[in-house]
Structure 1
Amino acid sequence: MATSERLERLIADEVGECCAGDVNDRLADLHALAERASVDGGERDVEALAALGSDTRYRIARLLAAADGDLCVCELEPLVDVSESAVSHALSTLTDAGLVTRRKEGKWRYYDTTERAEALLAGLDSTREVEA
């Protein structure tokens, strides 16, 4: 069934009848909604949310946000129970998504969360249901 046929059926069920003008009006309203919902840089939002979509990356972001300062890969590895290369890969993904900063000091690389990561984590915390 074509989308417009389904839309016609929906409108008819809502208001009792439907004509081509009703469908065109609803489509115009829907396109206006899509414009209002559109965000410049939305791809970066999706990238940031996807970066937090892995247990390892989410745990690392949480650890970095809770730390008093930045941490090295070798400090994170024993806390997330994955290999050093997996931690490094997760940190690269988080860095690419703009959720983690990286600085090099000698042969060591240190990582910390960005304000964006901290805001996303705080948002999750504030909307989590409190268990009774």
Structure 2
Amino acid sequence: MAETRTRLRRLLAEKLDDCRESDVEQRLEELASVTDATFDDDPVRPVFAALGNRTRYRLARTLAVTDDELCVCELEPVVDVSESAVSHALSDLVDAGLATRRKAGNWRYYDATPLAKSLFETAEREVSERE
């Protein structure tokens, strides 16, 4: 933390042409209030946490680029894990708001939510614009 404070002091001194300890403290308080407000009960975190796993990411991506609902048996070969692992990953995606689930008899069908489609479309657009 001491090194961080030293670097912060140098940054503030460059920006303000002078830096006092009170400037450092004020900036640390500003940053703490922003992060506390952003990360306490963060509703966005579960979305990105769900996408942080390779299996869940591949399932969400597959659902987002297909036009129809898909059954677990159709998604299993996409990720090459057991049916129970696919079902568990899909439940996590549903809980995160990235997929919907519909039961029809013995079959469960999944589809991407507008949120999932929008996330992938936005990411694709931004990445293609950078290239």
1:55 aligns with 2:54: yes
Gapped regions of structure 1 (runs ≥ 5): none
What is the TM-score with the length of structure 2 in the denominator?
Answer: 0.77
Question: Partner amino acid for 2:20?
Answer: C
Name the SS of the counterpart of 1:88 in structure 2. helix
Q: How many residues align?
A: 130
**CA–CA separation in structure 1 for the residues paired with 2:54 and 2:81:** 11
Name the SS of the counterpart of 1:61 in structure 2. helix
**CA–CA separation in structure 2 for the residues paired with 1:96 and 1:77:** 19
**CA–CA separation in structure 2 for the residues paired with 1:127 and 1:47:** 22
Q: Give identity over the alignment, percent.
A: 51
Are the counterparts in 1 of residues 5 and 24 from structure 2 also a CA contact under 8 Å?
no
**CA–CA separation in structure 2 for the residues paired with 1:131 and 1:3:** 34
**CA–CA separation in structure 2 for the residues paired with 1:84 and 1:77:** 6
Over aligned residue pairs, what C-alpha RMSD do you find? Answer: 3.0
Alignment correspondent of 1:105 = 104
Name the SS of the counterpart of 1:38 in structure 2. helix
Gapped regions of structure 2 (runs ≥ 5): none
What is the TM-score with the length of structure 1 in the denominator?
Answer: 0.76
Question: Partner amino acid for 2:27?
Answer: R
